Structure 1
Amino acid sequence: MPRFATIRGHVTYTPGDGVPIPIPEGRVEIDEADDSVILSWEAEPGTVGTTAMPRLQYDQYLEAGKIVPEDAGGQTATA
């Protein structure tokens, strides 16, 4: 079952050795593993953006409130 979160604020990913690219604010699908998290979003109508983010970086964004997971009912969790 897919899980979702909301991007709130400046969240970036770095493709390879490239420059950090922002993930747009809004809803993302998340797929968590022990060492990383895959985030997917609609970059523009009909175009999907996706990236794998190291777990440590993802956890830092969670703690900062820049990635906010949804609960089982689809509601954004509040702090």
Structure 2
Amino acid sequence: MTQTPQNAQIVGKVEYREGDGANIVIRPGPVKVQMGQNDVTLSWVDEEVRGSTAIPLADFKRYVAEGKIKLAA
């Protein structure tokens, strides 16, 4: 069961990896957060480009705890 997407802000260094490639930094700014059972999907718009990635739930919780992702109230 998934939840309604939530608004959040990237305010620190948040990274993801595509396959076996290098880590990619998500630019600071607004994102939509979609919680899944084992992972979290982050989606954003950067000028004309839309981005989206899934990160492990544990990584997402760490980023929130470290203050790098701020969830909207």
Q: Would you call these one fold, judging by a TM-score over 0.5?
A: yes
Which fold has the larger relative contact order, with Cα–Cα distance below 8 Å and residues 6 or more apart in sequence? 2
Q: Deviations over 1:24-62 (max 9, x none)?
A: 00100010011000000112x221010000001101101
Report the aligned-residue RMSD. Answer: 0.9
Question: Within 1, Cα distance between the matches of 2:58 and 2:5?
Answer: 21
- Find the residue that maps to 2:19 and give its secondary structure: coil
> How does 1:48-67 map onto structure 2 within 5 Å?
48-67=50-69
Aligned residue pairs total 70
Report which of the two has the higher share of strand: 2
**Percent of aligned positions with the same letter in both sequences?**
36
Unpaired segments ≥5 residues, structure 2: none
The two structures have a TM-score, normalised by structure 2, of: 0.90
The two structures have a TM-score, normalised by structure 1, of: 0.84
